[in-house]
Amino acid sequence: MAAAALLTAGAVGFTGLGTASAATAAPPTGGVLQILSPHYSNRGTPQFADGANVQRYLADTTRGIDARMTVTATTGASFILTPPDGKPLTTGVYRLVGTQSYGANVPTLTINGEYISGEFDILDLASNPTNGAITRFDGIVPGVGEYRFGEDAAGSVVFGARNLVFTKTFIGLPKTAQVETVHNTGTSAVTLGTPTVAGVNASSFSVSGSTCKTTLAAGATCTFTVGFAPKTAGPATAALSVKVGTATRTVPLTGSSFLGTTGITSSGKGIVDQGKTTKVTAANTAMTVVSIGSGWMFNADRLDGSGSALNIRLTSPNDQPIPVGTTKTTVSGRYSMVDTVNSSGCDSNGTITVKQFINDPVSGLPDTVDMSFVQYCDNGEKLPQTGTLQWQARADVAAPAAPTAVAVSATSPRKVTWKPSASKDAKSVVARLVQGSGANATPQSGTPLTVSGTSAAVPSVPAGQQYTVALFAVDATGNVSKAAVARFGTAPVTVTAPGRPTITSTSSGTGTVTVSFTPPASDGGLPITSYVLSTLYGSQQVSGTSSPLTLTGLPADGNMVEITAVNAAGKGTPSYAVPVTIG
């Protein structure tokens, strides 16, 4: 769904699973949205909506979620989540890649029309096994916020975020912040305590700017800001606690910092450096690395928002790590480099000397880089550009061994136990509870468990779901082990609309076409109830329960036809269209 195709609430009809329409039923309401808007026009603006201000136009495992929110009388927000092609929407940790063409193998998410890239965590999802309708959902984008529905009791005190997860940052940078909203949806005033932070990494988190008083009136809303500025390398967890009436509400806090040393230097007398030496570090600029298709861009933006101070563009065959040692770079060769200082750069040739270059196996982005360079502009200029590039450069890049013998008790209250990492430099363990199989889980996934020695208590969870406890050992450098996991519960039945049928033959007559086909490889977990034969854009169609089907009343001309299978979850993926000539 294109970002430009943002629709107003009245322009989208909630069709349920192919049975209702906007004319016969209003879209269901309810849910909670709390985000920092990622949209370019209002990026970073806190937005909150709940209750009747949240409408869902889609919510099923086949098509995903389309929700629209009224934030104020004049502003709104949207959350549109599309499953991978041919797969149901399920819980898990996903690395979103922004826009995708057909054949997408990860979900696509737009918030306020902005395609989201990076980590996305579906903390909780429950669906009806008879039609795929999603009944409960909770998803988090680190640094942006959370959207959920079916999770909060009516008339309760609603917290905008039940988990606050921050984007990975560098030690020494100004704190990143998210706004927490407290809304009393009940009919009576409640007393509130002062928000406090406790836990292993409590010093990395802070609370400020609270508008919450000792009493929150019925229907009233208050806010406070939670900041994150890591003090140690690697994962960080803590917990925010607020007294609400006689109970204490807890919001887990999760963050992480980059490791080692990150920075770029560039020096020279030519058109790029202009006789100066420029040095940027992760503590005085906003440093990032992104993929550019055949390599990577390391960029350092000034903290005042005035643009890039320095960036390095590297290309390498098939995005493979650049080998250790000295490598020649050329403008159009296998390896190339462009050094840009204050927006001044040039295509160049020269050498790069690599001490370390390791890519992250999940994202494909560089994880550890330590290199120097000598470059000459490809314009005949004889003056060299020299410098260094470091990204999480560190002597210790070896991850510790994971904990072992992980086990979750069979009865409630559950408890997870394990044996410590065998690595001598392992100093701590991060424990996370993740719904589902735990595939791709990271130390920021799911919700944190409080570690006590070699055990942790596991909270009560909804029945009918599978859960995974993922344990990570962390060493003194901040390196993190692979996940050690233990699962409990039973994976729920997840259904979708059917897959793609295959047209095997066609025969045309006067105003008619008869199409034979074979069923799809997948029925989506539900019986196929009918097939629809239609022209390509559905202007004419007929349904039936088996092959072949005949479409009549067609004009004499060339046309295209396709077959779509239907079950209780809705219409599936159409067959590939086939050309026909109508007599």
Mean pLDDT for 274-280 is 97
Q: Measure the CA–CA gap between 536 and 228, rounded to whole angstroms.
A: 53
Sequence-distant (≥ 6) Cβ neighbours of residue 30 within 8 angstroms: 51, 52, 54, 149, 150
- What's the confidence (pLDDT) of residue 19? 37
- What's the confidence (pLDDT) of residue 367? 96
Q: Position 446: which residue type? A: G
pLDDT tier at 412, thresholds 50, 70, 90:
confident
Average pLDDT, rounded, for the chain = 93
- What's the confidence (pLDDT) of residue 16? 35
Does 502-581 match 153-258 at the fold level? yes
String of b and e for 521-531 (b: at least 16 CB within 10 Å)?
A: ebbbbbebeeb
Check pLDDT > 80 for residue 203. Answer: yes
Kindly tell me the burial class for residue 213, based on how many C-beta atoms sit within 10 Å of its own C-beta (0-12, 13-18, 19 or more).
exposed
Check pLDDT > 90 for residue 8. Answer: no
Nearest to 140 by CA among 161, 170, 115: 161
Q: Measure the CA–CA gap between 72 and 70, rounded to whole angstroms.
A: 6
β-sheet bridge partners, residue 182: 159, 222
Return the beta strands (E) in 445-529 as ranges: 447-449, 451-452, 455-457, 466-475, 484-489, 502-509, 512-518
Element (H, E) at 295: strand 295-302
Q: Where are the domains of the chain?
A: 9-151, 153-258, 261-393, 404-489, 502-581
Strands of the sheet containing 336-341, edge to edge, are 285-291, 295-302, 308-315, 336-341
**pLDDT tens sequence across 45-71:** 999 999 999 999 999 999 999 999 999
pLDDT tier at 473, thresholds 50, 70, 90:
very high
β-sheet bridge partners, residue 448: 432
Architecture field, domain 404-489: Sandwich (2.60)
Q: Which fold has domain 502-581?
A: Immunoglobulin-like (2.60.40)
**pLDDT tens sequence across 323-332:** 999 999 999 9
pLDDT tier at 7, thresholds 50, 70, 90:
very low
Check pLDDT > 50 for residue 18. Answer: no
Higher confidence at residue 102 or residue 396?
396
Q: Which fold has domain 153-258?
A: Immunoglobulin-like (2.60.40)
Q: What are the angstrom distances between the C-alpha of 89 and each of 79, 107, 442, 567?
A: 15, 8, 20, 17
Higher confidence at residue 177 or residue 361?
177
pLDDT tier at 5, thresholds 50, 70, 90:
very low
Q: In the chain, what's the furthest Cα-to-Cα distance?
A: 81
For residue 514, the Cα-to-chain-centroid distance in whole angstroms is 45
Kindly state the percentage of the chain with pLDDT values over 90: 88
- What's the confidence (pLDDT) of residue 25? 61
pLDDT tier at 3, thresholds 50, 70, 90:
very low
Check pLDDT > 60 for residue 192. Answer: yes
String of b and e for 283-320 (b: at least 16 CB within 10 Å)?
A: eebbbebeeeeebbbbbbbeeeeeebbbbbbbbbeebe
Check pLDDT > 60 for residue 6. Answer: no
Sequence-distant (≥ 6) Cβ neighbours of residue 36 within 8 angstroms: 43, 44, 45, 46, 47, 143, 144, 145, 178, 179
